[in-house]
Amino acid sequence: MNWSFVTPIMLLCISNVFMTFAWYGQFKYPATSLWLLVPISWGIAFFEYCFAVPANHIGHTVYSAAQLKTMQEVITLTVFAVFSVLYLDEPLKWNQILSFGFIVLAAYFAFEKF
């Protein structure tokens, strides 16, 4: 197995878990003041960067920038969908799932060599 293809995907998955919590985890705490939420989110986002930067640095040796960005968006939506259902208790509706599917279809075209 060529780890240079797999490592960026694994690192992007981990980074997205941190970023999803940094951006959306605060929805569980609606009464918390913004002055507290912002630095906490920045602290969580720091760990996202610790995984995203190496993912893109390593990934750019085997993927184009457009492919990395497309991969990032698909991973982001996948992590967010799981997060939304399991952490926020907000089930996805059929139209949201369909829209995510279209983005995955777009990713296919980003990776297809014509």
* Average pLDDT of the chain, as a whole number: 93
Please list the pLDDT of the chain residue by residue as tens digits (114 residues).
788 899 999 999 999 999 999 999 999 999 999 999 999 999 999 999 999 999 999 999 999 998 999 999 999 999 999 999 999 999 999 999 999 899 888 888 888 877
pTM above 0.75, yes or no: yes
DSSP letter string, the chain: --HHHHHHHHHHHHHHHHHHHHHHGGGG-TTS-HHHHHHHHHHHHHHHHHHHHHHHHHHTTTS-HHHHHHHHHHHHHHHHHHHHHHTS--PPPHHHHHHHHHHHHHHHHHH---
